Amino acid sequence: MEVAGLTTSKCIDWMGGVGYTRSFPVEKYFRDAKIGTIYEGASNIQLNTIGKHLDAQY
């Protein structure tokens, strides 16, 4: 998610103000990347969850 957020943010910066309009798909990608980190949790929380599942398996 961090890579998606950084990439779409740079793309919007490159496009200027028009990057925030709904005329281009990059605006939707930016929103999707942001909601992904909110919905799925921060990277540290995701790593802890993965670690718990791996620890339970082995």
- In order of start, what are the domains of the chain with their CATH numbers? 1-56 (1.20.140.10)
At a CB cut-off of 8 Å and minimum separation 6, what does 13 contact? 19
Query: How does pLDDT run across 5-52, given as a tens digit for each residue?
Result: 889 999 999 998 888 888 888 888 888 888 877 777 677 777 888 888
Q: Radius of gyration over alpha carbons of the chain, in Å?
A: 15
**Token pair of 39, please?**
């919905």
pLDDT value at residue 22: 85
In angstroms, the CA 13 to CA 38 distance is 22
Write out the catalytic residue numbers: 40
pLDDT value at residue 19: 81
pLDDT band at 3 (very low <50, low <70, confident <90, very high): confident
Are 3 and 38 in contact, with CB atoms under 8 Å apart? no
pLDDT value at residue 1: 65
pLDDT value at residue 10: 92
